[in-house]
Amino acid sequence: MAKLVENADDGLWVHRDDAGIAAVVEAGLARAKAQDWASGTSGDRERALRGVLIETARCMGELAGKKTAVVPLTVDDKEIGKVAYVHPAPVAGATAERQRAAVVLYRSVELIAEGNRRGLGFATIETKTDAGAWPIVAVAAVVSIGQAAAIGYVAFQAAQVIDRQLQRRHDLKVLLAEHAKELELVSKHVEREKLAGKPLPLDDATKASLNATIKRQNDIAAKQQGPLSSGLPNVDAAAGGFGLGAVLALGAVAWFWFSK
């Protein structure tokens, strides 16, 4: 059973799901690719959307952000799980290519959130089924998304976002379907890097997907008449794309501005 509890003192929404994080992420990516935000129970749909958000933050952190060590998560001095904090915002030393990739992943969530944001993070607690199953670390269980506020907003408002956006707008369903495929490409890239023991340039398939997403994002943003105005600034500057000449309307400079 899934449960979402707001804990303002800790600055987190804590989501616990007996199915385990790996299963929730897998179900979320499958539902997004199928563009199915109507079948099943409302709880199924909400967990699926949060699964997509968890994987988004993980991939952003792997590309250009940072992770802390896994530490115990306690409530009233009782350990209830392990936590691996992911900070999606790019850090010094991340290449421009990786920064742009993280921005593209984040921007899809920002568009779905319609520029809304909430200042709390989002955490998901491990279950026994997660041990060794999720690729962040062997026992990783919780993702905290403190700096990517739109991700936290969508996580907490999942039911409303699905009703307002994903059940009614074909363009956003398609965007999230492509986003799910992109997350799988990035995840495979991260695994290749781990095997190689060093950072690797993004492969052509991932760069082509990101460029296509940039165009789709810009088309949606134009229809929505600048929904990013309440959040990230809309910077009309060529960011070099990913080797294919695409124009990224939201540059890395904007991302760093937001993350501070």
> How crowded is the C-beta side of 237, counted as CA atoms within 13 Å?
10
Which pLDDT score is estimated for 75?
67
Look up the pTM and report it: 0.80
Distance CA 211, CA 66 (A): 24
Q: Which pair of structure tokens corresponds to residue 254? A: 């904007």
Which pLDDT score is estimated for 248?
41
Long-range (24+ apart) CB contacts under 8 A made by 147-150 are 147/87, 147/88, 147/89, 147/259, 148/57, 148/60, 148/88, 148/89, 148/106, 148/109, 149/117, 149/118, 149/119, 149/231, 150/106, 150/109, 150/110, 150/113, 150/115, 150/116, 150/117, 150/231
What are the tens digits of pLDDT across the range 182-192? 999 999 998 89
Distance CA 89, CA 151 (A): 12
The residues, ordered by sequence, that sit 6+ positions from 213 with a Cβ below 8 Å of its Cβ are 104, 108, 175, 178, 179, 182
Which pLDDT score is estimated for 35?
97
Which pLDDT score is estimated for 192?
92
Distance CA 174, CA 20 (A): 27
Which pLDDT score is estimated for 161?
93
Which pLDDT score is estimated for 233?
35
Task: For the chain, list residues with pLDDT below 50.
Answer: 133-142, 226-241, 243-260
Which pLDDT score is estimated for 205?
92
Which pLDDT score is estimated for 23?
82
Which pLDDT score is estimated for 17?
72
Domain range summary for the chain, segments of one domain joined by +: 2-259
> How crowded is the C-beta side of 235, counted as CA atoms within 13 Å?
17
